[in-house]
Each structure stands twice: as C-alpha cells, then as structure tokens.
Chain A
Amino acid sequence: MVDVLVCIKRVVDSSSEVVLTEDDQAVDGRFAGFTTSAHEECAVELAVRIAAATGGTASVLTLGDADATEQLRSALAVGCTAATHIVADAQTFGPADVAREIAAVVRDRGHDLVLLGNDAADSGDFQVGIRLAYELGRPVVNGVATVSVEGSEVVAGGDGPDGHETYRVPLPAVVTVLEGGVEPRYPTVPGRMKAKKIAIEERTPTAEPSGPKRVRLLLLPPQPSDVQILGKGAEAAPAVVDLLERLGVLAR
C-alpha cells in the first residue's frame, strides 16, 4: 500500500521550433501547445503502476497557474486518483521555492514516495528533486528510468556511465525519473471522463518566492543542418548500407 505523489509541470511542448514570449521570460506555447514533459509522463506511469502493484494510491501535484489543471487532468485520466494544485505563477518560483512548496504538501500528507521528472523541460534546473529530499530529510535517487517497490524498499534502475545501475533505498524516499524505462499510456475515454469528475485540491503557496530569479531566456542561433544526398534509387543502396554500418545500426 504505497502512497505515491508524482510532481508534474505544465510546459510548452518542445518537439518543434522553440518560440519565446515577447518578454523573453518564457517559451511561447501558442503554436506547439502545452504538455507534461516526457520524463514526467514516465514518472506518472511509474506512479500509477506502483500504486496498482501495491494496492496503494497515486496522487499528482503541480505548481502553476490556472491553466495547469489541464496537465493535472491528463494525469488523472491515466490513473492518478487525486490531484493537488498549488496555484502560483510557475515562472516566478525558482527550484528552491518549488521544493519548499512540495515539501509542505508531503509533510501534510505523508506520501511514502515522491516521484519527479529528472529536470523541467522548460527551465532545466535539475534541482527540485534533490532540494525536496534535503527539505524532507529523505534519501533521493536521481535520473533513473525504472522504479518499483519491494516491501519497504524502493528499487530504482537506470543506465550509468559504467553500465546499468540499480539502487535500493528505504521508504519514504524521493526519486527523479528519466524517460525511456516505461511506455506512458494514453488516456482512455472512460479514464478521461472519470478525470473530469475528480475534485482538484487547490492550495496557495506557503511563502512568497525567495530563490534565484530568471533574468531572461535566450534562443541559440539555429544549428545549420547539413544534408548529404547519398544517391538515387537502387544505386544508393551500398552507400546507405555503409552509413548504417558506420552508425552501428548494422553489424559490420
């Protein structure tokens, strides 16, 4: 019966060209739309699986403006059963602020396991998980792709520089998740309908943001793409095979 909390963030879908807002303070989502990052989608999937495997519950949390309910509903539609919305302007909350706010919720509720994405897709701070663990005085595992619970231990795994790494830490714990270990499910129609009916708990931040502030975002100049034409029709086949071998797709 593990009580999991998974933390997500409403971010601009970054799968296309990045467009900044006019004040350079945020990524503009009007073309690409908003989403939950791939890391966090995997974290949600893991949370739902752990809850199912242990007969526990998966709750979802976000800190963001009113529109962020869209991402909470998406998580509810794939199996989370409760949601908490800390209503605040995510752009003004730095990683230390966010960690403090999550910690306040976890202290209230006593969630056994907190899952987060490895890093936020828009601001890329890589800090919230570690700061949260520090605030709570819990063990933390960073950047893993699989998470399961065995008894009172969390088993977390992922690829490290020297091979596959497996960590075992006692509950309660904090884990940050990298995409790739699980395939996040799409919502079902009944799931989506159920999600619509779940009441979202709204909270106000416990304190004003005090951590470091963003000055502005900068776009890198577009990387020139280099297209090399390998040939046309059947004559191109040897060149393609050669390239695939060099890339390691085909064995030499």
Chain B
Amino acid sequence: MANVPATARVVVIGAGIVGNSLVHHLARLGWRDIVQLDKGALPNPGGSTGHASNFIFTVDHSREITDLTLDSVRQYQEMGVFTQSGGFEIARTEERMEELRRRMSSARAWGIEAELVTPEFVKEKVPFIETDQFIGAFWTPGVGVVDSLRAGTIMRESAMATGALTVVPTVEVTGMDVEEGRIRRVHTSGGDIETEYVVIAAGVWSPKLGDMAGVSIPLTPAVHQMISVGPCPQLAEREGEISFPIVRDMDTFCYERQHGADMEVGSYAHRAILHEPEEIPSIEQAKLSPTEMPFTSDDFDPQLEQAYELMPELLGAEGAEMRYAINGLLSLTCDGNPILGESLVKGLWTAAAVWIKEGPGVGRAVAEWMTDGHSEIDIHHSDIARFHPHQMRREHTRMRTTESFIKTYGIIHPAEQYESDRDQRLAPMHESQKKLGAMFFETAGWERPHWYESNAALLEEYGDAVLPREHEWDARWWSPIINAEHLRMREAAGVIDLSAFQILDITGPGALDTVQRTCVAQCDVAVGKVVYTPVLDAKGGFLSDLTVMRLGEDHFRVVTGGAHGMADRKTFTDQLPSDGATTLTDVTDDVSTIGLWGPRARDILASLTDDDTSDSGFGFLTCREIRVGDITVLASRISYVGELGWELYVPMGDAAELWERLLDAGAPHGAVPVGIGVYGTTGRLEKGYRAYGAELDGERSIVEAGMQRPKVKAADFVGREAYLAQREAPPAAVLCTLTVDDHTSASGVKRYMLGGEPILAPDGGTLTDGHGHHPYVTSAGSAPSLGKHVLLAYLPPDQATIGNELAVSYMEELYPVTVGSVDATGLFDPANDRIH
C-alpha cells in the first residue's frame, strides 16, 4: 500500500464513482502528482457507490443532467461495463400518462429514443408484470445497468498507468489548512500533504470535510430503501446480470430491477429519513458498510405491497426470499442538483451529490473546468457558487429535501414552488404586497410577487385579451392577472419590486480593469452611463448577462439577477487584482430596487421629483441620483420590459416609503403594482430579451443568441479570442422568436406550452442544428400585446427565416408555429420607440 506523499498538485478525497472519474480525467488532461485518498478499502470503500442500484434512465427534464447522463453512458460503454436492458416508466393514473407525454417532449428535445407504449407492450418484455395495475408506459430502449465499482477501478488504474496518480486507501482526512483564502494543506491519519488543489468528492461525508476548510457543502445524507428478493425462478433461468427491462413504477415511487436471480425493489415513497454526516457510522461500527444503514421495515411495508401487486408471480415465487434489505444512504441537495466547482476557498473544489448515472460525466466536466476554466457540458446549475447564505444552512437542506424526497419520481410542474423554509428574504414593501394580495414566488430566498390579486378587477376590463388558459396544467402556478397587469403597464404604467437583484459595488484603482476584463461590452464609459453586457467564459460561452453602472471613475455597480447572483459575484471576485486595493462589496441587502415602466412613467416620476426626467435631460442608458421628496434615489433609465421608465435604487430603509409614493402618484395615471410574471416573462418575451439560464448558458454564443454588436472593444476580456472567432464563422444555431398559430388540441381544449418542448418540422420531422442538437423551447409565455403565445428557440440556421412555418410538440400533439424574429429584434415595438 502506498504511503501518503508529503506533497501533491491535487488531492482528490474520495474513491467512489466521482473521485475515480475525476482522477482519470485529470490525468488524461495532463495533471500530474495527483493523490487520491479514501478512508475505506478498495475497490469498495463503503460510500454510496458501493450499494448503488447502478441503473441509468437517460431522460430527465433538465438538459444539464441529461447531457451529463448521456456522456456517462458513453464512458461506461467505452469501459465495457454497460449492459443495455431497456427501461419502462409505468403510469397508474391519467395524470401520470400526461407527465409521460411531457417526458416524451424532453426525449425528443434531447434526441433520446423513447416511445409511449401499452401495458401489453410492457408484458411482452416483462412477462411477470400484471397489466391491470397500470394504463401505459414510457419505454426507453437505451436504459441500462453499469458496474460502477469496476468502472471506478478501470479509471483509477488508467490514471495510475500514466504515473500521474498515487492512490492511498484506508487513510482518513482529519483537517485542512486554508491560508490567505487558498487551500494549502491536507491533514490525514497518514501524515500531512502540501497541495495546490483539493477536490472533495466524498459523497455523503462531503459537508463534514467542507467544514474543515470553512466551506458549506449543503447536501444531506438521506435514506433510500432497497430490498433484494430471490432466487426467483423466472430470473434464475436467464443468463447474466440482467435480461429484463427495468420497471419504474412512477406512481408508487418504486422500481423493480433484476439483478441476476434476484429482483431488487427500491423505494422513494417512504418518509424522508435524513442523517447528519457526522452521525454516519465508522467502517468498524457499521454492520455492512457505513452507507448501508439498518433496514427499517415498517417504512417499506406499503411499497412491498404495491410491488407485490405489480409482480405477484415473481415476488411471491416459491423459494424467493428477502435476502438483503438496507436503508442506503445517498446525497440530496436543496434544489436536486449536484454540487460542483470551486468553493470560496481558492483551489478547494467540490464534486458531490452526484448519482451513478452522472458520475463519469461529472468527472470529465469538473476536470475540464479545473483545467481550462470551463467545461464542454454547461454545469452551472450545479455550481457550488450558486448558493446564497440562507441555502448554506443545514436546516435549509433538511427542510427542502424532506419536502422534495417524495417528489423523486413526482410530477413536478416547471413553475412549482417549495413550501418549506420560505420568507427568508423579505422586501421592505412586503407587508404592502401582502395587502395587495401578492402571489409570492421565491427567487434566491426572496419572496417576489408574481402577480397581485388586487389587480383581478382588470380581468373584466381586458376580457379575452388576457389569453385565459383552459387546461389546469397550463394554468397551474399562473394567472390571467399577469397578462392584465401587462396590458395595463403597456397602456399606463407598472410599479415592480426588484429587491431580488444582486447588487455588487466594485471600487478602487483596479475597478475599471476588473469590470473591463469580466464584461464583453465597453465599460470604459462616462460616469453616469449604464451598460448592458454579456459575461463570457474563455471558450466564449455565456457566464451571465447583466448591467453595469459607472458611478464614479473608480466605482462600478454591477446589477444581476438574484438566482445567479452569487455565481456572478464569484466571477467578478476572481478578476479582482490581488493587491487588495480594489474591493467588491455586495450591497444586495442594503439597496432595494423598484422598477417604474410604461408610457406614463415619466409623468409619474416627474410628479414626485423636481429633477429633470425629460428624454433630453435624462437619457436612455444613463443613471444619476434624484430626490423623491426626502428620499435620495439612484435612478437608472433602462428597461427589461420595453417601456419608458427607470430602475430606482433606494436604501432598504426608504424602499417601502418610495413604493407607496410611486403607487399613490401612479394611481391617477392608471399605474398598478405589477408582478414578476410580467417582468420575467410577458414583457421580456414580447421584446425578445434573452434570459441567462434559459436562452443563455455556457453552450451558447453571443452570435447564436443574435446579440453581437457591430464592434468588439479593444480592451481584453475573458472570452475575447473565442468571441472574435465566433463572429467570423456562420452560427451553428440561431435564436429565434416564434408564435403559436393554433392552440387547439385534438380534444378541442386550447393548450399553452410552458417551455422545454421540441420544435419540429410541420410534419413532425426532427430538426437538427449545427451542433447536432435538436431545437427546443427555451422560454414560453403570453405576449398579451400581440395577442399571441410566444416561444424562443435556437433553430438550425436554414430554418431561421421569418415566416417559416414549423411545429411545436406539446403533450404529444403538434401545434403550428411561425418564426417571427431571427435575431434580438422584439416582435413588439421592433424599433424600440416606446422606451423614449
């Protein structure tokens, strides 16, 4: 056995599927002096990999997770440890069938072979299933099982063969030293290691290790129950590990997976059973392994009954006994995504809360990210930098995972809101908003009004122009009041609470350089100018899009969305010069923002201030302080809804008062409070404005998004070289705005897409862009001022022509759509006359 080396370039903690994939890819990418530690023995050191059921269903609603899964499958296949079995997801209810139709949308969008089939089709392949228990199924022939322990060994050995890797099992990490914000040293039971990088890939133990360096890795160990029943004669007579497709019984939250002569039954239906990382038994204390906790049969009994009803002849077969039963520990996070990337401690990386189906893909992506600063697959929904302070609490993770555990196989609406641990961040005008009947949605812990019931009276005024939705699913987490607020804003004005903005002040001698290096747009502008800019990674993919105000020669204010604000904060912080003279201050909790937009916005603001609000006196894309009575406000003339108006930045203590003044002064002009439903969707989509996380991500370019400006600034910035190259080449895909021409479904009910649906040829044929990807809807929503439902999608360039007629598939029916815009030009007010 190897001894613990005194020095390393990188220490990878953990030899589960993630750590093993990571050392393999780091070595492949040229890293040397890699040291991999695990407190357990190899090849199964006792973590979650060792008891995983090891099957892979490929279709997920998330593109990021799907891409990581597909990449992992490819890697498992290359290693020869993948056995294709096919898989069914069966529906016991009509509601579930509808969800499976939605799953077909995702399959088509991601280009994965799948089809909806009858119970008889399932019985053909799984003869021991009872067809009277379900009404249909989603069939994915590419589903399979892997040998994750073997894969881990292969990857570890490939890294060792290059001489890049030293593996030291049965050594426990006991501490980490952070000096000047950088990881320096790892203490282990076998000695200390001086190192430049550390990756925590320790699964359920990761939070405990993160704590050693003062870093929150907010995941919780949670129980997933599993039993193994056998020998079943029906299975024993077949050769090999698996010869029947895996069945996911979606409505009972169970799965049945053949493993040799045994049938494994796993469940996500029991109560959430959470543990603390510190309370996981040691290897010596554990009966089986630390992550195979004692089975609590009472929790499992209801599932047993349902599984038996589905496969009575198999599970009740003569001689078939429950030979193995565990409460297996796995890692859950507050939003269901993995935790990847560099922490706030420089050089300390994380790769945790990863399932077997994503392991090798995550290993590759994180290794690329560590090597190049970006990865081929965009993994920013999993970035550890995404967490806000309230999400770093263990309590938050516990409450959210308790709520979401039961939804592991659940039907989750794209707009569904969590119920637990809400009210973490309340805007100063929250009480006022409650009185106005605000329907609160959560963003980054902030409670944001999505619409106001106080505006319900507008519904009558606008009638069918609010584009009501007949189908419950389409109208869930939605209200026609949003569209009424929209119409009133376009007609008069709207007052919008934007407190969730993440606001970062960068000051000091290096402020200009920091902003210039980070942002694509020219930020060396006159004081008082406002700049909208993309932020790129080195390969020219989007890291963000945001606005920058120059408040002084050495003072810039960066304003970005709350959801992605913490990651943006890290992006800018990473660009600060090391001398300490230039600082980034997060003023999010000190400054509130209120938007005022609409044709009457100027009249309303002018009635409250003596300062000049005329177009000539306060031009578009400028900002300056004004006085609203006794309140000092930083007003910025910009718009995300395509109307005349301002973002008004005000100290938190004055925000509630300013809010009331705006509503009072606005009322005679017809202004109403307007929710994020308008700001984030309807107002934005009519104008073709792009959103990070929907249209913009690491796999998209400025050119594809149709956002290129005539010139590129001379100053250097991250991604400049790649961006210049992108500008020279024809785009592989073009972001387009489409409108739905007819919403009528076969049943006569009008249906409204919500996003994620595939765009197809009019006859349903597949379209493919220059990346080999298939177009899908990145954002969908009402455009009340156009009387249309609008979709954004990246189309193959040859399909990106105005007037081109295509189709969108929604719940397995085709609806005709027409391309309305092939660049960033809005369908509404294309000349942008209204913002002046």
Query: Could you say which of A32, A34, A193 contacts B305, with CB atoms under 8 Å apart?
Result: A193
Query: Could you say which of A13, A32, A33, A188 contacts B322, with CB atoms under 8 Å apart?
Result: A188
Closest B-chain residue to A32, C-beta based?
B287
For residue B435, CB closer than 8 A to chain A, the reply is no
A187 to B229, CA, bound (A): 9
- Residues of B contacting A188 in the complex (Cβ-Cβ under 8 angstroms): 229, 316, 320-322
B301 touches A196 (CB 8 A): yes
Closest B-chain residue to A186, C-beta based?
B321
Encode A62-88 as 1/0 by CB contact (under 8 A) with B: 000000001001100000000000000
A188 to B321, CA, bound (A): 4
B301 touches A192 (CB 8 A): yes
Query: Could you say which of B284, B295, B298, B321 contacts A16, with CB atoms under 8 Å apart?
Result: B284
For residue A17, CB closer than 8 A to chain B, the reply is yes
B287 touches A70 (CB 8 A): no
B284 touches A17 (CB 8 A): yes
Within A159-204, the residues touching B (CB, 8 Å) are 185-190, 192-193, 196
Within A30-68, the residues touching B (CB, 8 Å) are 30-34
- Residues of A contacting B322 in the complex (Cβ-Cβ under 8 angstroms): 186-189, 192
B287 touches A33 (CB 8 A): yes
Within B260-297, the residues touching A (CB, 8 Å) are 279, 281-282, 284-287, 293-295, 297
- Residues of B contacting A185 in the complex (Cβ-Cβ under 8 angstroms): 321
A15 to B293, CA, bound (A): 13
- Residues of A contacting B320 in the complex (Cβ-Cβ under 8 angstroms): 188-189
For residue B473, CB closer than 8 A to chain A, the reply is no
For residue B323, CB closer than 8 A to chain A, the reply is yes
For residue A29, CB closer than 8 A to chain B, the reply is yes
The contact size tier of chain B is: 20 to 34
- Residues of B contacting A31 in the complex (Cβ-Cβ under 8 angstroms): 281, 285-287, 293-294
Q: Which of A30, A73, A185 has the most CB of B within 10 A?
A: A30
Chain A residues within 8 Å of chain B by Cβ, number: 23
B301 touches A34 (CB 8 A): no
Within B351-387, the residues touching A (CB, 8 Å) are none
A16 to B321, CA, bound (A): 24
For residue A104, CB closer than 8 A to chain B, the reply is no
A17 touches B285 (CB 8 A): yes
For residue A19, CB closer than 8 A to chain B, the reply is yes
- Residues of A contacting B307 in the complex (Cβ-Cβ under 8 angstroms): 189
B298 touches A70 (CB 8 A): yes
- Residues of A contacting B301 in the complex (Cβ-Cβ under 8 angstroms): 192-193, 196
Given the interface contacts A33-B295, A192-B322, does A19 sit within 8 Å of B285 by beta carbon? Answer: yes
- Residues of A contacting B315 in the complex (Cβ-Cβ under 8 angstroms): 189-190
- Residues of B contacting A192 in the complex (Cβ-Cβ under 8 angstroms): 297, 301, 304, 322
Given the interface contacts A31-B286, A185-B321, A188-B321, does A13 sit within 8 Å of B316 by beta carbon? Answer: no
A29 to B287, CA, bound (A): 10
Query: Could you say which of B279, B284, B294 contacts A13, with CB atoms under 8 Å apart?
Result: B294
For residue B244, CB closer than 8 A to chain A, the reply is no
A196 to B297, CA, bound (A): 10
A185 to B323, CA, bound (A): 9
B297 touches A32 (CB 8 A): no
Closest A-chain residue to B323, C-beta based?
A186
Q: Closest CB-CB distance, B755 to chain A, in whole Å? A: 42
- Residues of A contacting B692 in the complex (Cβ-Cβ under 8 angstroms): none
B294 touches A33 (CB 8 A): yes
- Residues of A contacting B284 in the complex (Cβ-Cβ under 8 angstroms): 16-17
Closest B-chain residue to A13, C-beta based?
B287
Given contacts A33-B294, A189-B320, 9 further A-B contacts (CB under 8 A): A13-B294, A16-B285, A29-B294, A31-B286, A31-B294, A32-B281, A186-B323, A189-B229, A189-B322
11 pairs of residues in contact across A and B, judged by CB atoms under 8 Å: A29-B294, A31-B286, A32-B281, A33-B295, A74-B297, A186-B321, A189-B307, A190-B316, A192-B304, A192-B322, A193-B304
Q: Which residues of B contact A (CB under 8 A)?
A: 229, 279, 281-282, 284-287, 293-295, 297-298, 301, 304-305, 307-308, 315-316, 320-323
Q: Which residues of A contact B (CB under 8 A)?
A: 13, 15-17, 19, 29-34, 70, 73-74, 185-190, 192-193, 196
